[in-house]
Structure 1
Amino acid sequence: MGFWIVMKSILHLAYFPNIAHFTALVQGKSSVFEVCDNYTKQTYRNRTCIYGANGKLQLNIPVNHTQKERQLYKDVKIANDYKWQIQHFKSLESAYKTSPFFEYYEDELKPLFEVKIEYLMDFNFKCLETIIECLQLSLNYTKTKQYNTSANTVQDFRPLVQCKKEIPQQFETYTQVFDAKYGFIPNLSIIDLLCNEGPNTLTYLERQSVNLVKF
């Protein structure tokens, strides 16, 4: 896989974005986050996947559903009555406590699961900014001001947010905590790469290519 540059890209914001999302972000000269779209189910907006002791594990943020037929993503509220943050962080600890770099980033990640944030999009931006800080990445991004179904002037990575109809990706293997049991699992949350590769995360992302074609 070779290094490639995306001049400008548009993406949906996800919960601890996966490696495909972060590859597009790192290699893009300028990224735009779609913030004017309607919220839809079965996407990575409120879920992320990590490598647990029993294989691929999906973590879901519970959200409050309204009676409206359509709801803007930026208006979706987290169902904070549930103790989901405790469960999510315990899952991260269980999955990555023996990884090379979990303890190195733990102090940055843990506060995300101790503060109550009302809106899903706000929480996802906070998670994104935390990962950017962990990577010491200078990332230039903006937000959309209106929703456009087509993105003719930019590379459209918005399909990457799909979970149920996820686009398969082929990435270089790296050592994962439980790969001796279940083999390499590609395109997990950026947390998986960060905890296993640490400072090498950026170098890894710069070598990857993102597939946008379903096959």
Structure 2
Amino acid sequence: MESQLLLPAFYLPAVSYFHIIQQNEQPLLIERFEHYPKQTYRTRAKIATANGVLNLIVPILHGENEHVPVRDIRINYDFNWQRLHWLSLQTAYRSSAYFEYYEDDFYRFYAKRYDFLLDFNIEQLQLLLKCLKINRPITFTQAYTSRIEPVDYREAIHPKKPSLLERPKPYYQVFEDKHGFLPDLSAVDLLFNHGPQSKSYL
């Protein structure tokens, strides 16, 4: 069996997520059956703003059963978080070199309602792979397994763990003069600042 690169589906994944993909040539295998883990990048993305790093968090519906497969997690629309996230992205990146170029592609994630978090995250992943010019097929797990037959990165990228980018090479960021270089933000930070040159950074 051909080896695969096992990853979770994150919200606007970090630069390190795509660095892993670039460094490993295997097809992508996205986890669908793990129990939803709280406080991870599955619902959280980091962007650079005038005030420093901002966490954008997608609210989800919490049921009584804590052990819910990630594929069954539903997005909560009790308040208009989509408008807030889109305004935050616009405010953070409207002066970047390539935001206007990609704006329409990303706006749809904040204009359309997605029932399931996994569908929302997968569509973003597909768009980011296209924008970063990474041609890699995506498949999905058919059951949960703790056996690490593929290259397993399900727990490697986490807000409470050090970044996998040990010595991240700085690239230009809009607010770098205020905060210095902020490493391993959402890949949209790299994309909006460097556009088609982003792949060479990875």
* Bin of the TM-score, shorter chain as denominator length: over 0.9
Structure 2 residue aligned with 1:12, among 8, 11, 16?
Answer: 8
How far has the Cα of 1:122 moved from its partner? 0.6
In structure 1, list runs of 5 or more residues that go unmatched.
Answer: 1-6, 206-215
Query: What are the superposed Cα offsets for residues 36-82 of structure 1, whole Å, 9 maximum, x if unpaired?
Result: 10001110000100001111110000000011131111111000121
SS in 1 for 2:48: strand
Query: Root-mean-square deviation (CA), in Å?
Result: 1.4
1:117 is aligned to 2:114 = yes
Amino acid across the alignment from 2:15: I
Amino acid across the alignment from 2:98: F
With normalisation by structure 2, the TM-score equals 0.92
Distance 2:17 2:57 in 1: 18
1:21 is aligned to 2:1 = no
SS in 2 for 1:187: coil
Asked whether the 8 Å contact 1:36–1:147 carries over to 2, the reply is yes
1:202 is aligned to 2:199 = yes
Asked whether the 8 Å contact 1:62–1:82 carries over to 2, the reply is no
SS in 1 for 2:139: strand
1:158 is aligned to 2:154 = yes
Amino acid across the alignment from 1:28: N
How far has the Cα of 1:166 moved from its partner? 4.5
Distance 2:179 2:156 in 1: 24
Asked whether the 8 Å contact 1:74–1:121 carries over to 2, the reply is yes
Distance 1:64 1:91 in 2: 23
Asked whether the 8 Å contact 1:21–1:160 carries over to 2, the reply is no
Amino acid across the alignment from 1:190: A
Distance 1:144 1:118 in 2: 20
Alignment of 1:160-179 (within 5 A): 160-167=156-163, 169=165, 170-179=167-176
Query: What are the superposed Cα offsets for residues 123-178 of structure 1, whole Å, 9 maximum, x if unpaired?
Result: 00111112223234322221111111231x33221123422335453321100000
Asked whether the 8 Å contact 1:14–1:161 carries over to 2, the reply is no
Distance 1:126 1:51 in 2: 23
SS in 1 for 2:185: coil
SS in 1 for 2:156: helix
Asked whether the 8 Å contact 2:61–2:73 carries over to 1, the reply is yes
Amino acid across the alignment from 2:174: V
In structure 2, list runs of 5 or more residues that go unmatched.
Answer: none
The ranges of structure 1 where at least 4 consecutive aligned residues each deviate by more than 3 angstroms after the TM superposition are 165-168
Q: Which residue of 2 aligns with 1:181?
A: 178
How many residues were matched structurally?
A: 198
27-36 or 64-73: which moved more? 27-36
Distance 1:69 1:78 in 2: 15
